[in-house]
Amino acid sequence: MNQKFYDELRKILPEESIKLNEPMEAHTTFRVGGPADFFVTPGTKDELAGIIARCRAVQMPYYIIGNGSNLLVSDDGYKGVVIQVYKSMNQIRVTGNRIEAQAGALLSGIAARALENGLAGFEFAAGIPGTLGGACVMNAGAYGGEMKNVLKQVTVLSQEGRIFTIPVQKLELGYRTSIIAKNGYIVLEAVIELRNGDAQEIKTLMDELKEKRVSKQPLEFPSAGSTFKRPEGYFAGKLIQDAGLKGFRVGGAQVSEKHCGFVINRDHATAADISELMRQVSEKVYADSKVILEPEVKRLGEF
Ligand SMILES: Cc1cc2nc3c(=O)[nH]c(=O)nc-3n(C[C@H](O)[C@H](O)[C@H](O)COP(=O)(O)OP(=O)(O)OC[C@H]3O[C@@H](n4cnc5c(N)ncnc54)[C@H](O)[C@@H]3O)c2cc1C
């Protein structure tokens, strides 16, 4: 253990916000991943800025996570600091048709507040199991909706410790990309702008979309949602199915039999199983259809 660095972190964070050798399988929806040397949960932007400044000063690698729902962490874990922006930074405030929320707020929580306040336009996000921060970075989307359509602005912390607000037009939100990731910004909070709607209609739509997820997606197994990005003009799941890979397994990892776009942790998979399965799926799909599948899932650590 790097005692000196731990002591530095203790000047910024209370003891309960710092964990050592924390298994990342407990913080990712794939339920795999070895230990992070340091795992910290800042409760304020000052704490977060302090951690980043400390890491940069001593060249300690760091990585931000939300709910880990789009993340594959190596079985060897992460030699550095995993900074989880989640439950300790998850305030949500509704004013008129605007929702201001901290990066750690879950999309489901924001959707519930939208419904409570009769605000329409966020129904698509209710079933995405990520935080607002992760959703801004990924420009998360589903069923024809995407964050780009509802975000007004995002407040970020830069690597140099500057805090500033970026209007949505300048976020370069594309298919699962944004300027946030490219520039290494950390999302602190965001403003979502919705339209006034009818609470019953909002609820009906949320229920319908939930039903679609439950019936089409393998929610009974750990996963990170769609494993690959949708190649232009195709659907990843269909390409994988057409390549004969439905149910294909490597170790405990499997291409879902219910939805081929999902790689699932079927039975005590390791990150290496999942990674190797993804590699083989891409290779076989390319051989079958000459389409390149790119992972949507982010990787952390050595593979
Ligand atoms: C069952 C299931 C269904 C899913 N369905 C969908 C879907 O319909 N549509 C969709 O788009 N996605 C879907 N996903 C994937 C995932 O939920 C989204 O990508 C989500 O936005 C990720 O949020 P997170 O908080 O879990 O981010 P994480 O997985 O923790 O992180 C994802 C990326 O965002 C970065 N990040 C996280 N928080 C911050 C922050 N505060 N500041 C800067 N960077 C940050 C991380 O460094 C990482 O690069 C699904 C996942 C599962 C398991």
**Pair 267, 252: CB distance under 8 Å:** yes
Ligand 1 nearest atom to the CA of residue 106, by list position: 25
Ligand 1 nearest atom to the CA of residue 180, by list position: 43
The residue from 154, 171, 202 where one domain ends is: 202
**Rounded mean pLDDT of 203-208?**
98
pLDDT score recorded for residue 22: 98
213: in domain: no
pLDDT score recorded for residue 257: 98
- Please say if 22 is a catalytic residue: no
Nearest residue CA, atom 33 of ligand 1? 134
pLDDT score recorded for residue 192: 98
Give me the domain span that covers residue 159.
90-202
The residue from 62, 87, 112 where one domain ends is: 87
- Please say if 176 is a catalytic residue: yes
210: in domain: no
Å from CA of 67 to ligand 1 middle: 7
Å from CA of 3 to ligand 1 middle: 32
**Pair 147, 141: CB distance under 8 Å:** yes
**Rounded mean pLDDT of 91-117?**
98
Å from CA of 130 to ligand 1 middle: 5
pLDDT score recorded for residue 248: 98
Question: What is the CATH number for 233?
Answer: 3.90.78.10
**Rounded mean pLDDT of 31-51?**
98
- Please say if 296 is a catalytic residue: yes
pLDDT tens-digit series, residues 246-291:
999 999 999 999 999 999 999 999 999 999 999 999 999 999 999 9
Looking at the structure, tell me whether residues 196 and 103 fall in a common domain: yes
The residue from 176, 202, 228 where one domain ends is: 202
pLDDT score recorded for residue 176: 87
Looking at the structure, tell me whether residues 58 and 100 fall in a common domain: no
CA–CA separation, 184 vs 260, rounded Å? 32
pLDDT tens-digit series, residues 111-151:
999 999 999 999 999 999 999 999 999 999 999 999 999 99
pLDDT score recorded for residue 65: 98
Label residue 202 by pLDDT band (50, 70, 90): very high
The pick from 70, 124, 176, 217 for probing ligand 1's pocket by mutation, whose C-beta has the most ligand atoms within 8 angstroms, reads: 70
Does residue 213 have its Cβ closer than 6 Å to ligand 1? no
On the question of pLDDT at 294 being above 80, the answer is: yes
The single residue of 22, 25, 47, 176 carrying the catalytic annotation is 176
**Rounded mean pLDDT of 184-206?**
98
Label residue 180 by pLDDT band (50, 70, 90): very high
Per the structure, the count of domains in the chain is 3
CA–CA separation, 192 vs 97, rounded Å? 8
pLDDT tens-digit series, residues 12-30:
999 999 999 999 999 999 9
DSSP 247: T
Does residue 153 have its Cβ closer than 6 Å to ligand 1? no
Does residue 33 have its Cβ closer than 6 Å to ligand 1? no
**Percentage above 90 pLDDT, the chain:** 98
Looking at the structure, tell me whether residues 141 and 40 fall in a common domain: no
pLDDT score recorded for residue 103: 98
DSSP 15: G
pTM (two decimals): 0.97
Burial of 7 (0-12, 13-18, 19+ CB in 10 A): exposed
End-to-end CA distance of the chain: 23
